[in-house]
Structure 1
Amino acid sequence: MTVWDRPERPARPAPLDRERIVATAVALADEGGLEAVSLRKVAARLEAGPMRLYGYISTKEELFDLMVDEVNAELLPAEPPRDWREALAGHAHRTRQAALRHEWLADLLGGRPALGPNAMAVNEVLLASLDGLADLATVMRAVETLSAYCTGAIRREIANLRAERATGLSESDWQRARGPYVSRMLATGRFPALARFVHEGVEVDAETVFTTGLEWVLDAVAAKLTPPRP
């Protein structure tokens, strides 16, 4: 039985329900990452005994599932997308923005599919936008490819943000600090392609990097969308 199938117990003696528990867990994770979340810590924030939470949630993994589904509500489009490309691009950008608001989400992207009602609604939008444009196998590969791109790109961006905070160095500061070493290595002539990239490459911001990669992924998906034969 999943956590969504299990009925909630009556809220006694003080008001308590899964909605409050999950909202509290999300707030703790936003403040200190997933390591700041446990049933005991959530109970303490709610000023409730830890055992009371077990009437609603059995494990920390279930709590994480509920937290992910809570954030999935932020991924639903405000208006129905006009076509498949708008649906997939909008989903990718909303996922990135949600991860920037809730950095812990990056740690839970990928892996087994999210099965909560909000996650299912999100997948319904994506699959419906592609319905009839190709056979089912191609549609599934298109959604999986988008998911893989978002997971990798978002995790990389969040990792860089965490590194900045941990070291106190911006990306530019970090590059300058390692400049002498990189220059010595490039001067050996062993890395001509890398040298050209370092000397002639143009830096762009994270959003531009994400959007450019996304457009390439969507172009590749478009090339595979051929309506199935009747």
Structure 2
Amino acid sequence: MTVWDRPEPPARPAPLDRERIVAAALALADEGGLEAVSLRKVAARLDVGPMRLYGFIATKEELFDLMVDEVHAEILPEEPPSQWREALRVRAHRTRRAALRHPWLADLLGGRPTLGPNALAATEATLAPLDGRTDIDTALRAVETVNAYTIGAIRREVANLRAERATGLSKSDWQRASGPHVERMLATGRFPALARAVREATHVDAEESFATGLEWVLDAVAARISRRSE
């Protein structure tokens, strides 16, 4: 039985429900990451005893599932697109923006799917435009492919942001600090392709990089769907 199937106990003696518990956990995670979240810390923020929470949530993993599902309410668009490509594009961009608001989300994406109502609605909104456009196996692989790109790109971006906070160096600061080492290595002549990339490539910000890569993935998905439809 999932946490969504299990009824909540009576909110006595103090008012308490899963919504308040999840809100407290989200606040802790936004402030200090997943390591800042425990049932004891959530209980302390709600000013209740830790044992009170076990009537609502059995494990910390269940709490994480509820937190991810709550964020999926931010990912789900109010009016899901009717075209499959736009639906996948919107899902990817909204997931990225949610992860930038809640960096801890990057650590929980890509595992077993959460089965909460918001996550299921987001999946339905992504799959529905593909229904009838191609066979179900191709539709699932299309969604999985875009999700894999999205999660990988998000994790890289969040990792860079965490490194900036940990070191106090922005990306440009880090590049300036590591520049002399990189130039010495490139001067050896052992890395000609890398040297050309460093010196000639157009440098774009994270958002533009994400958007460009996403369109390339969507182009590949479109080509596969077209071939399957022939």
Q: Same fold (TM over 0.5)?
A: yes
Once structures 1 and 2 are overlaid, which stretch shifts more, 80-89 or 16-25? Answer: 80-89
Contact between 1:57 and 1:63, CA under 8 Å: does it hold in 2?
A: yes
Shift of residue 85, structure 1, vs aligned partner: 1.1
1:106 and 1:155 in contact (8 A); partners too: yes
Matched, 1:104 2:104: yes
Q: Is the 8 A contact 1:72 1:122 kept in 2?
A: yes
Whether contact under 8 Å (1:133, 1:227) holds in the other structure is no
Q: Distance in 2 between matches of 1:202 and 1:228?
A: 36
Matched AA of 1:56: F
> Could you say if the C-alpha distance between residues 209 and 187 of structure 1 is closer, same or farther in structure 2, counting changes exceeding 3 Å?
same
Letter matched to residue 23 of structure 2: A
User: What is the distance in 1 between the residues matched to 2:150 and 2:178?
Assistant: 29
Residue 15 of structure 1 aligns with which residue?
A: 15
**1:51-79 Cα distance to aligned partner (Å, 9 max, x none):** 00000000000000000000001111121
> Are the structure 2 counterparts of residues 55 and 154 from structure 1 closer, same or farther at C-alpha, using a change threshold of 3 Å?
same
Alignment-derived partner of residue 60 in structure 1: 60
Tell me which residue corresponds to 2:205.
205
Give 3-state SS (helix, strand or coil) of 1:127's partner: helix
List per-residue Cα deviations over 1:165-210 (Å, max 9, x = no partner): 1111111111111111111111111111011111111211100000
Q: Is the 8 A contact 1:92 1:150 kept in 2?
A: yes
Partners in 2 of 1:215 and 1:33 — Cα distance? 31
Could you tell me whether the CA contact under 8 Å between 1:135 and 1:227 is conserved in 2?
no
- Give, in whole Å, the separation in 2 of the partners of 1:199 and 1:152: 26
Q: Does the 8 Å contact 1:149/1:214 carry over to 2? A: yes
Q: CA deviation at 1:80?
A: 3.0
Residue matched to 2:117: 117
Alignment RMSD, CA only? 1.1
The TM-score normalised by the length of structure 1 is 0.97
Match of 1:85 in 2: 85
Question: Could you report, residue by residue, the CA deviation over 1:97-136 in whole angstroms, capped at 9, with x for unpaired residues?
Answer: 0000000000000011111111000000111011111111
**Deviating more after overlay: 63-72 vs 177-186:** 177-186
What is the TM-score with the length of structure 2 in the denominator? 0.97
Structure 1 stretches of 4+ moved >2 Å: 226-229
Inter-partner Cα distance in structure 1 for 2:183 and 2:228: 54
The CA distance in 2 between the partners of 1:41 and 1:81, in whole Å, is 40
1:161 aligned partner: 161
